[in-house]
Structure 1
Amino acid sequence: MTAPAVNTTDRRLTPATDRVALESLRGLLERPAYTAGTPARLGVAVADLCREIGGARDRQTNFGADLTVIEERGDWSFVQAALDGYCGWIESRFLGRDLPAITHRVSTPATHIYPEANLKLREIGSLSMGARVSVTETQGKFSRLASGGWVPSMHLATHAASDPGALAESLMGTPYLWGGNSRWGIDCSGLAQASLIGAGIACPGDSDMQRDTFPVVEGPYQRGDLLFWPGHVAMALDAGRMIHATAFVMGVIIEDIETAIARIDAGGDGPFLGARRPDRTDHAAFP
């Protein structure tokens, strides 16, 4: 995977607060202090990355995400995600310092965690697609996690999927959530990112970043192409259909591309900005 993005003109990709910056920014960004950062890992199913302490959600991060802690302030930590370089404030209680080797990812829309390798027991937690886990042993159809509990082995993968479109389709019915990145709620760029990264393709977190990252293509559209509007992205399933998480229905749906272009334009949310084709050679780390 490419190194986390650094862009000192974009707060979302700048690993610095008003007090502290990563050592790599010394000479590029003036701050009172610099740090090498402290490794951490998300220890809850999903957590918000906020633009300021206690503020609005920019994006979310999923269980097992590797993070670099840049500053701790009260009950909050400012972090940068290894996955895509996204930065923000996260509640410190969600972070763990135990970093066992990651062996698998959750490859289904979601899975349950059980106290033992027994599907009849009450679940003790849940994980969403993209969660990164460390499996320590298997027993029957279950895998034991280093973090505790057992999950169905069939819900885990050690290798990337071959088709991002299939991953996107598996998330049909997920409710829309601004900044969401999980089965519990997802937005347009979250759906695109989850689907591409699950297929081993590096992808930034927000739609404007995605549009700036991938090369322009003309029709006919191919499966996996990304289609853009101001502040919105969809994924082509073929030359005529697309899938996206949209506030239009507050969920993930499949639409005819030309019909969607006309509807979005008529609603004042256009114009259509064209298509981009993700680079399948820019591999995201997996698992």
Structure 2
Amino acid sequence: MTALPDRRLNAYRPDLAEEALRGTVAAERYVAGTPARIADPVAALRPRPDLTAGIDTQLLFGENVRVLDRADGWAWVKSDFDGYVGYLPEAALAEDEQAATHIVAVPRSFAYSGPDLKTPAAFALSIGSRLTVVGESETRGTRYLTLAGGQSVVAGHCLAMGETAGDDYVSIAARFLETPYLWGGRSGFGLDCSALVQLAMMMTGRTAPRDSDMQAAGLGTPIERADLVRGDLVFWKGHVAIMEDAQTILHANGHTMSVAREGLDAAIERIGWLYQQPTGYRRP
């Protein structure tokens, strides 16, 4: 019996499926979807249209999606960034097309109501948020970017689209230290283990799948524990950590409920009673 495609990355239901799955899965009809973008600072993506359902992942301000269906105030969408599929409230979407010109490059920032740090913050922004900049100004020596919505963001907190924060994704991951752990979280306000990997790599121009099992299956190449160096990944069942050096890991974890630094040997011993030994090691 042929296994069905991964529902996290493939949109299909008995009544509807994405056009790319025509001939692969059976559905009453197939759609290409319509473009939209995330208008909330962070939007939770859920496996069903129900606010009590757990969060699978999150989409960030300005990220693009394809809307496959709308019903009862919910939208069924697929992320353009990593292909993740799920449901979010329609109110989290904007329909107008705006090409992103900049990306937030610090873990957290604010969109102010005007080009001045003393004006009220309109909303918070996570690293990775996509911005459409239409102008700029300077107040008391600080440069601000003016967004299409009229808000202002500190220019020094942003990069132009296509620019990166350097080559060392581990240094980006370390900037999240003490950020709260959040199951399914994918923002500077709270994130899980695999999102730490994905976001840190994204800011250096690299791509990574969203979930730890996806990363363990195909991100980089397998290596042996004895070969671990900075930037390598350690996997347990349902968990991933980044090697900061040959003995130390960075990981978002449920033990400290934060992004934390920990010795690899200590982590293996602590995690082992619940999740057994590491399942593998990979070099991205």
- Same fold at TM > 0.5: yes
Amino acid of the structure 2 residue aligned with 1:23: E
Match of 1:85 among 65, 83, 86: 83
2:216 maps to which residue? 211
Amino acid at match of 2:45: L
Assess if the C-alpha contact under 8 Å between 2:14 and 2:26 holds in 1: no
Give the C-alpha shift of residue 166 in structure 1. 1.2
Shift of 1:8: 4.3
| Superposed counterparts of 1:84-233, under 5 Å | 84-140=82-138, 141-158=143-160, 159-161=163-165, 162-214=167-219, 215-218=221-224, 219-233=226-240
Aligned pairs, number: 271
The separation in 1 between residues aligned to 2:12 and 2:65, in whole angstroms, is 14
Q: Give the conservation status (yes or no) of the 8 Å contact 1:114–1:122.
A: yes
Conserved 8 A contact 1:8-1:14: no
Q: Is the 8 A contact 1:17 1:71 kept in 2?
A: no
CA distances 1:206-249 after superposition (whole Å, capped 9, x unpaired): 10011111221223323222210000001111111110000001
Structure ranking higher on relative contact order (CA contacts 8 Å, 6+ apart): 1
Write the letter of the residue equivalent to 1:238.
D
Distance 1:225 1:73 in 2: 43
Q: Within the alignment, does 1:234 sit opposite 2:236 as a pair?
A: no
Matching residue of 2:262? 255
Q: What secondary structure, in the 3-state scheme, does the structure 1 residue paired with 2:67 have?
A: strand
Tell me the percent identity: 37
> How far apart, in 1, do the equivalents of 2:4 and 2:103 lie?
31
Q: Which runs of 5+ in 1 are unaligned?
A: 1-6, 279-287
Q: Which amino acid aligns with 2:164?
A: A
CA deviation string 1:39-69 (max 9, x = no partner) = 0100011011100111221111111111011
In the other structure, the counterpart of 1:277 is 283
Runs (4+) of structure 1 exceeding 2 A deviation are: none
Q: Secondary structure at the match of 1:13?
A: coil
Gap regions ≥5 residues in structure 2: none
